[in-house]
Amino acid sequence: MFKKIIKGGQRKHSKSDSTDASLYGSGPNSNAVAAPSRNSDVPMAPPPMATVGPLPLFRDVPVSDRQNLFMRKLQICCFQFDFSDTFKSAREKEIKRQTLLELVDLIQSGSGKIMERCQEEMIKMIGVNIFRCLPPASHENTGQEATDPEEDEAYLEPSWPHLQIVYELLLRYAVSTDTDTKVAKRFIDHSFVLKLLDLFDSEDHREREFLKTILHRIYGKFMVHRPFIRKAINNIFFRFIYEIERHSGIGELLEILGSIINGFALPMKEEHKLFLVRALIPLHKPKPVGVYHQQLSYCIIQFVEKDYELADTVIRGLLKYWPLTNCQKELLFLGELEEVLEATQSAEFQRCVVPLFRQIARCLNSPHFQNWVNNDFDAQLLSACDVSPFNFS
């Protein structure tokens, strides 16, 4: 899905859909805009629209009117509709959808740089559509205890036919080579990033996939936001671990972090090591760890492979949060431990060998009905360590 979203932005455009660069104030005919003055490069916002009606295509209006048309199309896209009723305002919904598609094609065509005022209004329009109160989680509607999200019936956002195009527009804007980060960071600021991160709790997996792609692109392009994004994700993890133990987007956030950790420079900063100890390792504690364990394990292994000295810290962290009664969770820990040991050097292994094999001995002696599965994992661990089992009790 991640690659599909990126690949979706590589469609070819016909010449009939292309727009003159003068819409952005950067083409050869940009001087066609009338009334020159000190602020002549800033389009005036048209009066608010009371109703949604079709507007002409950019190619069908004079060059001098295209900036104002762009702003009016943004206004149409700011209208909110009730998607719980498919037939309500069907005509207006379709007009908005077509307008959004036209804006996506416009940004993707790369005709030129968008003027600052147009960028600002476009980001505002995007915010109006995507920044909203998420519906209560499925377990909150019934008042029952939260269950494994994978066992819940998949929730699909009713407004997704429009929301998807808005996300596509934001993605195209973020990845465009014509987007100047010095200008764009005024609109995609810390407040905008925080609101994006709040949306990761959406139960619609399609929305989380788009958010993952967009935030990853923002992290890569806006270097000034990188420390803030890492800290904000850190805070989400803290709240998840120690307060709510329920969040739909932990797996997606860990996927982003997996790529970020892979790019850490050596020697590793103390800030990153603290993140491992205070956030990533404690993520083994919550009950729904099985939902995001694959992504979490990948992040952990990335740390060990980058800095072998962290192996002892990771192994002791796993032993600290080792499950006592949950056999399925224990199997996840054994599998992760095996991968960690494969990347562990002899010196680090010697530091934790005693507590490690005490835990393995407890697994071997477990009376649980799945003990034979644990024994299979334990045999692999012993083989990876190139030692024979013996008593540490």
pLDDT at 27: 42
3-state SS assignment for residue 369: coil
**Residue (of 78, 67, 75, 68) closest to 48 by Cα position:** 75
pLDDT at 10: 47
The rounded distance, in Å, linking the Cα atoms of 243 and 236 is: 10
DSSP string, 196-210: HHHGGG-S-HHHHHH
The rounded distance, in Å, linking the Cα atoms of 318 and 94 is: 53
pLDDT at 48: 63
Element (H, E) at 76: helix 66-77
Element (H, E) at 290: helix 289-306
The rounded distance, in Å, linking the Cα atoms of 359 and 334 is: 10
**Would you write out the chain's pLDDT as a tens digit for each of its 393 residues?**
445 444 444 444 444 444 444 454 444 333 333 333 333 344 555 666 667 788 888 888 887 788 889 999 999 999 999 888 878 888 999 999 999 999 999 898 876 567 899 999 999 999 999 999 998 876 555 555 555 555 557 889 999 999 999 999 999 999 998 899 999 999 999 999 999 999 999 999 999 999 999 999 999 999 999 999 999 999 999 999 999 889 999 999 999 999 999 999 999 999 999 999 999 999 999 999 999 999 999 999 999 999 999 999 999 999 999 998 888 899 999 999 999 999 999 898 999 999 999 998 888 887 665 544 455 555 555 555 554 444 444
The rounded distance, in Å, linking the Cα atoms of 307 and 323 is: 26
pTM of the model as a whole: 0.81
Distances in Å between the Cα of 381 and the Cα atoms of 275, 327, 353, 374, 387 are 27, 17, 12, 10, 9
pLDDT at 33: 32
What are 319's two structure tokens?
A: 């032993």
Show Cβ contacts of residue 142 under 8 Å, excluding neighbours closer than 6 positions. none
- Compute how many other C-beta atoms are within 10 angstroms of the C-beta atom of residue 92: 16
pLDDT at 87: 83
pLDDT at 224: 95
The rounded distance, in Å, linking the Cα atoms of 192 and 185 is: 10
pLDDT at 18: 43
Show Cβ contacts of residue 338 under 8 Å, excluding neighbours closer than 6 positions. 377, 380, 381, 384
The rounded distance, in Å, linking the Cα atoms of 173 and 107 is: 6
pLDDT at 67: 84
